[in-house]
Chains A and B, each alone.
Chain A
């Protein structure tokens, strides 16, 4: 059980946190032929766009209402109206998803109200999907923006229960810590149980890195607006990560689909629960393939524990990712000595560590140093700290801009867990070989002192 505390300081140094609208925009990117739109100054969009381009190595559809100082003061209806019309004219999307930002929230722009006026002024758009989410930059974090947006999509498109339920259909609501690779792996698992999953959002269709047949200015794939409208037919909703509980509850309220939240999908016990649940709802036995994969994971844990056991870990990530991966490494014998996250979450006080700090990478660095951390896990921004602390460094989360394949890091399922254990153990082995190989002085403190 951990004590969750907020750092008391005025200057955030080396932020771990990213802003809500960016998380919201990314959620919209999991819907097919969509254009996310940030209602703010053009920089809000530009920074977010560059960040996501560097992470995914993909073109990112993201537009701006380009608020000037004057427009901000007077109110942004005209800009929102023009932006919708322009986007529609240029890219003919199926959905425009609007996230507010700090500056337009301060002014008090009511985007939902704008949309009502817009529909009145432009009757052609009366049924065109426009979704507004309130995501001020000055509260919450990336994960909160994602969570709110998915909930708003469900509330707005409101999938009504339609007659008979389709026995094999399930809804999957993945948290923002799930990569396109994770979603592909999960889809395979569901299908192997004879289930037909609808993922909302589905980044595996849009940001998995693939070559489209033609130029597309909007999202290259993802769940269609139609399919969202049919989510009410499913027999179950599976929410992945505690952040998705609100969205799952909304779906249950509107469409009467029962849900279950899986806070973790990385680790042996977590996957035992997950696979048992799938077997139960599908009425199918666990396929041979997964029985083998479970056994392989057990073997990987046995082989890996020599290297992970007792290792002091410093980890910084958004709450659900932190809980998932941090708990796995605790399962593998690591000691979580420095733990930093970005925003409040019900999972934090259940992390197997003494203290979870809502803070930044400066906090993580100072704690890692003082508490003798031997291994660092965080996003690519950890690179500066690791240059100083000289630790092995495994990148997870977002952004990962200085390595390839961020979209295909898989941590879910027996297989994903197995591969993660191997990747981490190999990194620790490689680091030890280079930096801590045994020599004559290893068992003789005085000699070591002299050689220093």
Chain B
């Protein structure tokens, strides 16, 4: 078995994963990804997943070793934000050509690393493997090791070529790269009893900054965020944190679990989406920190902050209530968000007519039942055609989903809101949830809906039909 295959097996049998715990040994070996169906698949590859997980590190040069497609077709397409360097957004690729294919791409990769070091002086260079060099046998581990030694700068191999599996596997392989080469390689200047890691949070639309002030107020320091608005050094000394919060259970559970094993950093899975969940996450952070020796009084301060912020958030949502009462929401997203935003939406008077559970764990589904009752409309898999039909028949008033399905809603002339990675608004923490409700209200009550659903006053052949005339007269 190649080292990469061994890694993949290891990631597949992740013991801390909720789904895995319910599987037999044999099932686990098969892996967690459903077999992809040619001609019926959608979604990113492992390389995509690895890049999603690591690219938010702001002071790192992210170098994609492959032909132009992998970086040329995809760069600068992520909504993460940086408070410092813009280097993370720069597109670096070896842009392999036919000669590289024939003679191997390792030399070009090595030279590319050298050029980046000389021109951009990054804190580190992450090298992403892709299918073509994997096929021809380019060994990026060896090149990265040689380049690190020669140039005296961390050069980290990220071994997740697209064809080994889906995005989610790539997230985890990215985590493995951090565990193998980054975490624990540096020491912070100082530590405090209030140091935490946040794992699997990418600061999309700058949403981490909706939560950071709350932590700041409590005196809690984000020692390292993996990877939103993160710096290489921070990840390198993240093993000195006292506790960790794992934000997206599916993405980097292996990082949280192994850091727990290696460095005894306790972690919990939580979410900053939703008012109750934000409070719960803050409580859990404080609880873990106290268990690691932080003063007990932290909890009292946390509770006070929660009480204040919850009151403020609910008060801010109240004015929307009479406008949103009874409006029906179709929620097409995955995992945590399938339940974590539901409570806040219900608080605003919205009715959830369906939530997708395609990417949710057993626990996620339990949570949905708790929040929405046994009659919860859990949608296992909905084709775009079915979504379109549901909206067209007005069985929902608005759809919240990712960009992939936006045109299903818009072409049905129904309101739609982006709640996935390319969105422009930040929806985290207390402020974020109020913002989400505000955006829903803005979308539902935009006057365009009345006009865009109006049929043209002519028929298929362009003849002015009687019906059309009657409408025009109205």
Contact = CB atoms under 8 A, between A and B. Distances in A.
Interface of A: 9-15, 17-19, 21-22, 37, 40-48, 50-51, 53-54, 57-59, 63-69, 71-73, 78-80, 82-87, 90, 101-103, 106-107, 136-139, 141, 211-212, 215, 217, 381, 383-384, 401
Interface in B344-383: none
Contact of A17 (B72, B113, B131, B134): B72
Contacts of A15: 68, 71-72, 75, 91, 93, 95
Given A14-B90, A47-B73, 20 more contacts: A13-B116, A15-B68, A47-B48, A50-B74, A53-B407, A59-B384, A68-B163, A79-B38, A83-B39, A103-B131, A137-B67, A139-B98, A211-B413, A215-B385, A217-B385, A381-B76, A381-B91, A384-B76, A384-B89, A384-B90
B413 A47 contact: no
Contacts of B389: 215
B135 A82 contact: no
B393 to A, nearest CB: 12
B44 A82 contact: no
A10 B94 contact: yes
A14 B75 contact: yes
A10 B47 contact: no
A64 B44 CA distance: 11
A42 B162 contact: yes
* Most chain A beta-carbon neighbours within 10 Å: one of B46, B95, B163, B422: B163
Given A18-B73, A59-B408, A103 B38 contact: no
| In the A-B complex, the 6 residue pairs with the closest CB atoms | A43-B45, A83-B39, A86-B39, A11-B112, A10-B111, A19-B69
Contacts of B92: 11-13
B429 interface: no
Nearest to A78: B38
Nearest to B48: A43
Interface string B131-166: 110111000000000000000000000000111111
Nearest to B165: A68
B76 A51 contact: no
A248 to B, nearest CB: 27
Contact of B163 (A11, A103, A381): A103
B29 to A, nearest CB: 15
B75 A381 contact: yes
Contacts of A73: 135
A51 B112 CA distance: 26
Contacts of B115: 9-11
B68 A66 contact: no
A46 B43 contact: yes
B162 A82 contact: no
Interface in B93-147: 93-98, 100-101, 108-109, 111-116, 119, 131-132, 134-136
Contacts of A66: 36-39, 41
A44 B94 contact: no
6 contacts: A11-B63, A59-B411, A63-B41, A72-B131, A72-B135, A137-B68
A102 B42 contact: no
Contacts of B165: 68
* Most chain B beta-carbon neighbours within 10 Å: one of A9, A67, A138, A139: A138
B162 A43 contact: yes
* Most chain A beta-carbon neighbours within 10 Å: one of B38, B43, B93, B408: B38
B16 to A, nearest CB: 26
A452 B132 CA distance: 51
Contacts of B403: 50, 53
A40 B97 CA distance: 17
Interface string B7-37: 0000000000000000000000000000011
Nearest to A81: B38
A78 B91 CA distance: 35
A211 B411 contact: yes
Contacts of A51: 73-74, 77
B350 to A, nearest CB: 25
B428 interface: no
B399 interface: no
Given A43-B47, A58-B407, A12 B94 contact: yes
A102 B131 contact: yes
A132 B212 CA distance: 52
* Most chain A beta-carbon neighbours within 10 Å: one of B43, B72, B92, B116: B72
B86 interface: yes
A18 B38 contact: no
Contacts of A12: 68, 71-72, 91-95
Contacts of B66: 102, 137
B194 interface: no
Contacts of B411: 59, 211-212, 215
A120 B13 CA distance: 42
Nearest to B91: A14
Given A59-B407, A69-B164, A46 B112 contact: no
